Protein backbone atom coordinates (compact mmCIF):
# COMPACT_ATOMS: atom_id res chain seq x y z
CA UNK A 1 0.00 0.00 0.00
CA UNK A 2 2.78 2.37 0.96
CA UNK A 3 4.47 1.67 -2.40
CA UNK A 4 1.25 2.48 -4.26
CA UNK A 5 0.89 5.78 -2.37
CA UNK A 6 4.44 6.75 -3.20
CA UNK A 7 3.85 5.86 -6.84
CA UNK A 8 0.66 7.96 -6.90
CA UNK A 9 2.47 10.93 -5.40
CA UNK A 10 5.27 10.61 -7.94
CA UNK A 11 2.79 10.42 -10.81
CA UNK A 12 0.89 13.47 -9.57
CA UNK A 13 4.13 15.42 -9.21
CA UNK A 14 5.07 14.45 -12.74
CA UNK A 15 1.70 15.57 -14.09
CA UNK A 16 1.98 18.88 -12.22
CA UNK A 17 5.45 19.44 -13.65
CA UNK A 18 4.26 18.70 -17.17
CA UNK A 19 1.26 21.00 -16.75
CA UNK A 20 3.45 23.84 -15.52
CA UNK A 21 5.93 23.32 -18.33
CA UNK A 22 3.10 23.26 -20.86
CA UNK A 23 1.58 26.47 -19.58
CA UNK A 24 4.91 28.26 -19.70
CA UNK A 25 5.76 27.06 -23.23
CA UNK A 26 5.07 30.54 -24.60
CA UNK A 27 5.27 33.58 -22.38
CA UNK A 28 4.73 37.31 -22.44
CA UNK A 29 7.71 39.15 -23.91
CA UNK A 30 8.89 42.68 -24.68
CA UNK A 31 11.32 43.31 -27.54
CA UNK A 32 13.28 46.56 -27.83
CA UNK A 33 14.76 48.12 -30.98
CA UNK A 34 16.78 51.34 -31.21
CA UNK A 35 17.05 53.13 -34.57
CA UNK A 36 15.58 49.99 -36.13
CA UNK A 37 18.23 47.60 -34.72
CA UNK A 38 17.27 44.82 -32.31
CA UNK A 39 18.65 45.31 -28.79
CA UNK A 40 17.05 42.62 -26.65
CA UNK A 41 13.93 40.80 -25.44
CA UNK A 42 12.73 40.57 -21.85
CA UNK A 43 10.64 37.46 -21.11
CA UNK A 44 8.08 36.96 -18.36
CA UNK A 45 9.54 35.19 -15.31
CA UNK A 46 12.90 34.62 -17.00
CA UNK A 47 15.16 37.09 -18.80
CA UNK A 48 15.08 40.60 -17.37
CA UNK A 49 11.89 40.24 -15.30
CA UNK A 50 11.62 41.30 -11.65
CA UNK A 51 7.97 40.23 -11.17
CA UNK A 52 7.41 36.56 -10.31
CA UNK A 53 3.73 36.63 -11.29
CA UNK A 54 3.05 34.93 -14.60
CA UNK A 55 1.44 37.52 -16.86
CA UNK A 56 3.16 40.57 -15.36
CA UNK A 57 6.53 41.63 -16.74
CA UNK A 58 8.54 44.40 -15.07
CA UNK A 59 11.82 44.91 -16.90
CA UNK A 60 14.88 45.00 -14.67
CA UNK A 61 17.13 48.07 -14.62
CA UNK A 62 20.25 45.95 -15.10
CA UNK A 63 18.71 44.36 -18.19
CA UNK A 64 17.90 47.82 -19.60
CA UNK A 65 21.45 49.02 -18.91
CA UNK A 66 22.78 45.97 -20.75
CA UNK A 67 20.91 46.93 -23.92
CA UNK A 68 23.46 49.66 -24.61
CA UNK A 69 20.96 52.29 -25.73
CA UNK A 70 22.51 55.61 -26.79
CA UNK A 71 19.56 57.84 -27.77
CA UNK A 72 17.38 57.49 -24.65
CA UNK A 73 17.36 56.18 -21.10
CA UNK A 74 14.45 53.86 -20.34
CA UNK A 75 13.17 54.82 -16.88
CA UNK A 76 10.50 52.13 -16.68
CA UNK A 77 9.15 49.39 -18.93
CA UNK A 78 6.58 46.66 -18.38
CA UNK A 79 3.77 44.58 -19.85
CA UNK A 80 0.84 42.46 -18.71
CA UNK A 81 -1.41 39.79 -20.21
CA UNK A 82 -4.37 37.59 -19.34
CA UNK A 83 -3.61 34.77 -21.79
CA UNK A 84 -3.86 31.14 -20.71
CA UNK A 85 -0.13 31.29 -19.92
CA UNK A 86 -0.73 33.78 -17.10
CA UNK A 87 -1.80 33.40 -13.47
CA UNK A 88 -5.12 35.12 -14.26
CA UNK A 89 -6.29 33.87 -17.66
CA UNK A 90 -9.27 35.66 -19.19
CA UNK A 91 -12.21 33.48 -20.13
CA UNK A 92 -13.82 35.92 -22.58
CA UNK A 93 -11.76 39.03 -23.27
CA UNK A 94 -8.10 38.86 -24.31
CA UNK A 95 -5.91 41.70 -23.02
CA UNK A 96 -2.29 42.69 -23.68
CA UNK A 97 -0.80 45.89 -22.25
CA UNK A 98 2.51 47.71 -22.25
CA UNK A 99 3.76 50.83 -20.48
CA UNK A 100 7.01 52.72 -20.22
CA UNK A 101 8.84 56.01 -19.97
CA UNK A 102 12.09 57.42 -21.34
CA UNK A 103 14.39 60.40 -21.01
CA UNK A 104 15.66 61.61 -24.38
CA UNK A 105 19.44 61.92 -24.90
CA UNK A 106 19.89 62.44 -28.64
CA UNK A 107 17.77 62.17 -31.78
CA UNK A 108 16.58 58.62 -32.41
CA UNK A 109 13.79 56.09 -32.41
CA UNK A 110 12.63 53.22 -30.22
CA UNK A 111 10.33 50.32 -31.09
CA UNK A 112 8.76 48.46 -28.17
CA UNK A 113 6.86 45.28 -29.08
CA UNK A 114 4.78 43.25 -26.62
CA UNK A 115 3.65 39.75 -27.59
CA UNK A 116 1.90 36.76 -26.06
CA UNK A 117 0.11 33.66 -27.36
CA UNK A 118 -2.66 31.23 -26.41
CA UNK A 119 -5.57 33.60 -25.98
CA UNK A 120 -9.02 32.11 -26.49
CA UNK A 121 -11.48 33.81 -28.85
CA UNK A 122 -14.95 34.57 -27.44
CA UNK A 123 -17.60 32.39 -29.15
CA UNK A 124 -19.15 35.42 -30.83
CA UNK A 125 -18.29 38.11 -33.32
CA UNK A 126 -15.06 39.77 -32.24
CA UNK A 127 -13.76 43.33 -31.89
CA UNK A 128 -10.21 44.54 -31.26
CA UNK A 129 -9.89 47.75 -29.24
CA UNK A 130 -6.58 49.63 -29.17
CA UNK A 131 -6.18 52.15 -26.37
CA UNK A 132 -3.15 54.46 -26.34
CA UNK A 133 -2.15 57.31 -24.05
CA UNK A 134 1.05 59.37 -24.28
CA UNK A 135 2.50 62.18 -22.21
CA UNK A 136 5.50 64.40 -22.77
CA UNK A 137 7.57 67.01 -20.97
CA UNK A 138 9.46 69.57 -23.07
CA UNK A 139 8.34 67.71 -26.20
CA UNK A 140 7.43 69.35 -29.51
CA UNK A 141 5.22 68.49 -32.45
CA UNK A 142 8.16 66.76 -34.14
CA UNK A 143 8.27 64.19 -31.31
CA UNK A 144 5.80 61.39 -32.02
CA UNK A 145 4.44 58.17 -30.56
CA UNK A 146 2.71 55.59 -32.76
CA UNK A 147 0.70 52.61 -31.49
CA UNK A 148 -0.81 49.62 -33.27
CA UNK A 149 -2.32 46.26 -32.24
CA UNK A 150 -2.08 42.95 -34.08
CA UNK A 151 -4.49 39.99 -33.92
CA UNK A 152 -2.73 36.81 -35.05
CA UNK A 153 -4.99 33.78 -35.69
CA UNK A 154 -1.90 31.63 -36.38
CA UNK A 155 -0.97 32.00 -32.66
CA UNK A 156 2.70 32.65 -33.46
CA UNK A 157 5.37 33.61 -30.91
CA UNK A 158 7.06 36.82 -32.07
CA UNK A 159 10.67 36.23 -33.16
CA UNK A 160 12.56 39.56 -33.24
CA UNK A 161 14.54 40.12 -36.46
CA UNK A 162 17.95 41.78 -36.48
CA UNK A 163 16.36 44.84 -38.10
CA UNK A 164 12.69 45.59 -37.58
CA UNK A 165 10.68 45.21 -40.81
CA UNK A 166 8.88 48.35 -41.96
CA UNK A 167 5.60 46.45 -42.38
CA UNK A 168 5.39 45.58 -38.69
CA UNK A 169 4.18 42.36 -37.10
CA UNK A 170 2.35 39.13 -37.93
CA UNK A 171 -1.44 39.25 -37.95
CA UNK A 172 -4.33 41.58 -38.65
CA UNK A 173 -3.31 45.20 -37.80
CA UNK A 174 -5.53 47.71 -36.06
CA UNK A 175 -6.07 51.26 -37.21
CA UNK A 176 -2.82 53.17 -36.64
CA UNK A 177 -2.73 55.68 -33.76
CA UNK A 178 -0.23 58.57 -33.92
CA UNK A 179 0.31 61.22 -31.25
CA UNK A 180 2.23 64.42 -32.06
CA UNK A 181 3.59 65.51 -28.71
CA UNK A 182 3.30 69.28 -28.85
CA UNK A 183 2.53 70.92 -25.48
CA UNK A 184 -1.16 71.24 -24.67
CA UNK A 185 -2.25 74.75 -23.56
CA UNK A 186 -2.20 76.20 -21.03
CA UNK A 187 0.93 74.22 -20.14
CA UNK A 188 4.03 75.58 -21.95
CA UNK A 189 5.99 72.33 -21.74
CA UNK A 190 3.68 69.38 -21.11
CA UNK A 191 1.29 67.43 -23.29
CA UNK A 192 -1.03 64.49 -22.81
CA UNK A 193 -2.93 62.55 -25.46
CA UNK A 194 -5.33 59.57 -25.43
CA UNK A 195 -6.95 57.69 -28.33
CA UNK A 196 -9.10 54.56 -28.68
CA UNK A 197 -9.83 52.79 -31.97
CA UNK A 198 -11.98 49.69 -32.54
CA UNK A 199 -11.55 47.24 -35.43
CA UNK A 200 -13.40 43.99 -36.29
CA UNK A 201 -11.40 40.77 -36.42
CA UNK A 202 -12.37 37.24 -37.47
CA UNK A 203 -12.95 34.37 -35.10
CA UNK A 204 -10.37 31.63 -34.75
CA UNK A 205 -9.60 29.12 -32.00
CA UNK A 206 -6.58 30.31 -30.05
CA UNK A 207 -4.65 33.36 -31.16
CA UNK A 208 -1.68 35.60 -30.37
CA UNK A 209 -1.69 39.31 -29.65
CA UNK A 210 1.05 41.87 -30.25
CA UNK A 211 1.16 45.59 -29.79
CA UNK A 212 3.76 48.01 -31.02
CA UNK A 213 4.88 51.39 -29.75
CA UNK A 214 7.12 53.49 -31.98
CA UNK A 215 8.79 56.59 -30.50
CA UNK A 216 10.56 59.22 -32.58
CA UNK A 217 12.30 62.06 -30.74
CA UNK A 218 15.06 64.65 -30.71
CA UNK A 219 16.66 66.67 -27.89
CA UNK A 220 15.27 70.09 -27.04
CA UNK A 221 15.14 72.74 -24.37
CA UNK A 222 15.21 71.24 -20.90
CA UNK A 223 14.97 67.58 -19.95
CA UNK A 224 12.68 65.82 -22.42
CA UNK A 225 10.66 62.83 -21.20
CA UNK A 226 8.02 60.68 -22.88
CA UNK A 227 5.69 58.26 -21.12
CA UNK A 228 3.19 55.88 -22.67
CA UNK A 229 0.66 53.14 -22.13
CA UNK A 230 -0.94 50.91 -24.75
CA UNK A 231 -3.59 48.22 -24.44
CA UNK A 232 -5.05 45.70 -26.87
CA UNK A 233 -8.43 44.23 -25.89
CA UNK A 234 -10.33 41.50 -27.73
CA UNK A 235 -14.04 41.44 -26.87
CA UNK A 236 -16.99 39.43 -28.09
CA UNK A 237 -20.05 41.03 -29.65
CA UNK A 238 -23.39 39.15 -29.40
CA UNK A 239 -24.57 37.62 -32.65
CA UNK A 240 -27.54 39.46 -34.26
CA UNK A 241 -29.79 36.45 -33.60
CA UNK A 242 -28.83 36.49 -29.92
CA UNK A 243 -29.59 40.20 -29.68
CA UNK A 244 -32.95 39.63 -31.40
CA UNK A 245 -33.86 36.89 -28.92
CA UNK A 246 -32.94 39.08 -25.96
CA UNK A 247 -34.89 42.06 -27.29
CA UNK A 248 -37.82 39.81 -28.19
CA UNK A 249 -37.96 38.51 -24.64
CA UNK A 250 -38.03 41.93 -23.00
CA UNK A 251 -41.77 42.56 -23.65
CA UNK A 252 -42.63 39.14 -22.16
CA UNK A 253 -40.58 39.96 -19.05
CA UNK A 254 -42.33 43.33 -18.75
CA UNK A 255 -45.79 41.74 -19.13
CA UNK A 256 -44.97 39.13 -16.51
CA UNK A 257 -43.85 41.80 -14.06
CA UNK A 258 -47.03 43.83 -14.75
CA UNK A 259 -49.27 40.78 -14.10
CA UNK A 260 -47.48 40.04 -10.82
CA UNK A 261 -47.99 43.61 -9.65
CA UNK A 262 -51.74 43.42 -10.51
CA UNK A 263 -52.11 40.10 -8.70
CA UNK A 264 -50.49 41.60 -5.63
Cβ proximity of 81 and 232 under 8 Å: no
pLDDT of 166 over the 50 cut:
yes
Helices vs strands, H then E, count in the chain: 3, 13
Q: Please spell the DSSP secondary structure of 160-201, one letter per residue.
A: --SB--TT--SSEE---EEEE-PPPTT-SSEEEEEEEEEEEE
- Residues 253 and 185: their CA atoms lie apart, in Å, by 52
CA 209-130-205 angle, to 5 degrees, is 35
**Residue 119 burial (C-beta neighbours within 10 Å; 0-12, 13-18, 19+):** buried
Question: Could you read off the pLDDT of 225-253 as tens digits, one per residue?
Answer: 999 999 999 998 765 443 343 344 444 44
Q: For 90-176, list the strands marked E by DSSP.
A: 94-104, 108-120, 125-137, 144-152, 172-173
Residue 185 banded pLDDT, cuts 50, 70, 90: confident
| Single pTM value for the model | 0.81
Residue 264 has a pLDDT of 56
Question: H or E stretch including 8?
Answer: helix 2-23
Question: Could you read off the pLDDT of 192-219 as tens digits, one per residue?
Answer: 999 999 999 987 788 999 999 999 999 9
Question: H or E stretch including 46?
Answer: none
How many CA atoms lie less than 13 Å away from 251 in the CB half-sphere? 3
Reduce the DSSP state of residue 238 to 3 states and report it.
coil
Going by C-alpha positions, the residue among 238, 230, 196, 236 that lies closest to residue 81 is 230
The CB-based long-range contact list for 255-260 (8 Å cut-off, 24+ gap) reads none
**Highest-confidence range of 5-19, 24-38, 235-249, by mean pLDDT?**
24-38
Question: Could you read off the pLDDT of 79-96 as tens digits, one per residue?
Answer: 999 998 888 886 668 999
Residue 33 banded pLDDT, cuts 50, 70, 90: very high
Residue 11 banded pLDDT, cuts 50, 70, 90: very low
Amino acid sequence: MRGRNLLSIALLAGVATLATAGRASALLQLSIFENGAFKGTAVDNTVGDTNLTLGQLNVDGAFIAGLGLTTANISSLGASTNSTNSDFPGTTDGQLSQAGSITVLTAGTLDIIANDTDYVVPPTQTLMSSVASTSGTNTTGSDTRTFQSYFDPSNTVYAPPAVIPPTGLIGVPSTLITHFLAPVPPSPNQGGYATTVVDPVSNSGTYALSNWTFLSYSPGAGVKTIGWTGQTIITGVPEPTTVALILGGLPLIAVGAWRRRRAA
